[in-house]
């Protein structure tokens, strides 16, 4: 059989396995789960997808006799064990293993409010290799799973998913600050445990509004609502024109 025929067959095999991986991932993705199981399930789903693709790649390569001979020699010798141990010591595989451990032990979960490296944020994604934390200013902190599993992290919602919504507005120092703060207190008056405080007077007056929310998703929505309410209230007061 010509060499290019083997290449075509290998490509077809890998394409079929890739299609299978997409179908399995689609089936797993639509399962409805309780919140406490979402983190474990998402990492498991990605691990299954990666395993299918790796197996498919090796299956496609074994169609080529030259590669099959090399693979057979490796599998027949103890070199394969040394290869596995060697890869296990690498950062890439340690990130993968740490991702599995994070999913099982759950020191952090999707939606948790955490503080890592002095940065406050919400756990947005726990991947096979990295964990993504969205900070309060909207930027993403990308942390290797091996580092996250070995470092200390402050989790504000590990036992209780209740958290808080917090926004900060900047007011000119020339405005009537007492009246503005009073108006902003009306903005959060109907929320749970509302708080309004002046947190800075550097260039502008920084006023922080805070209220409790049942979880991180609700907190994000409440923060958006508070910004709209604060904007309307301050415009009506004449602070912003």
Indicate whether 147 and 176 sit together in one domain.
no
Residue 99 lies in a domain: no
Range of the domain at 112: 108-155
Indicate whether 143 and 202 sit together in one domain.
no
Indicate whether 185 and 132 sit together in one domain.
no
Tokens, residue 24: 């399995």
88-134 pLDDT per residue, tens: 556 667 777 787 788 777 888 877 888 898 888 888 888 778 899 98
Q: How far apart are CA 67 and CA 50, in angstroms?
A: 21
Q: What is the CB neighbour count within 10 angstroms for residue 192? A: 12
- The residue ranges of DSSP E strands in 136-188, in sequence order, are 140-144, 154-155, 163-171
Which residues touch 157 (CB under 8 Å, ≥6 apart)?
111, 112, 113, 163, 215, 216
Domain boundary among 155, 172, 187: 155
* pLDDT-wise least confident of 27-31, 84-88, 154-158: 84-88
Which residues touch 9 (CB under 8 Å, ≥6 apart)?
63
What's the predicted TM-score (pTM) here? 0.45
99-108 pLDDT per residue, tens: 778 877 788 8
The 113-116 sheet, strands edge to edge: 140-144, 130-135, 119-126, 113-116, 154-155
Q: How far apart are CA 231 and CA 215, in angstroms?
A: 24
189-202 pLDDT per residue, tens: 989 889 999 988 98
Reduced to 3 states (helix: H, G, I; strand: E, B; else coil), residue 201 is: strand
Residue 97 lies in a domain: no
Residue 181 lies in a domain: yes
Indicate whether 144 and 195 sit together in one domain.
no
Candidates 138, 165, 174, 137; CA nearest to 230 is 165
Q: How far apart are CA 104 and CA 51, in angstroms?
A: 18
Q: How many domains does the chain have?
A: 3
Indicate whether 119 and 56 sit together in one domain.
no
């Amino acid at each position: 059989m010509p060499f290019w025929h083997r290449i075509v067959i290998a490509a077809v095999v890998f394409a079929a396995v890739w299609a299978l991986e997409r179908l399995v991932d689609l089936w797993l993705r639509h399962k409805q789960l309780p919140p406490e199981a979402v983190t474990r399930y998402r990492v498991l789903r990605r691990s299954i997808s990666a395993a299918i693709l790796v197996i498919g790649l090796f299956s496609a390569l074994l169609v080529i006799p030259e590669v099959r001979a090399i693979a057979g020699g490796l599998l027949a010798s103890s070199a394969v064990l040394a290869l596995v141990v060697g890869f296990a010591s690498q950062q890439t595989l340690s990130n993968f293993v740490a991702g599995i451990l994070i999913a099982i032990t759950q020191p952090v979960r999707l939606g948790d409010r955490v503080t890592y490296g002095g940065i406050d944020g919400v756990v947005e994604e726990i991947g096979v290799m990295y964990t993504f934390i969205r900070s309060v200013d909207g930027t993403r902190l990308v942390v290797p799973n091996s580092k996250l599993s070995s470092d200390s992290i402050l989790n504000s919602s590990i036992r209780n998913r209740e958290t808080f919504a917090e926004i900060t507005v900047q007011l000119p120092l020339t405005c009537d600050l007492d009246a503005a703060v009073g108006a902003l207190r009306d903005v959060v008056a109907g929320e749970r445990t509302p708080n309004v405080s002046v947190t800075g007077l550097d260039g502008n007056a920084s006023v922080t509004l805070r209220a409790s929310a049942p979880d991180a998703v609700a907190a994000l929505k409440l923060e958006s609502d508070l910004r709209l309410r604060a904007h309307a209230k301050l415009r009506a007061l004449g602070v912003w024109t």
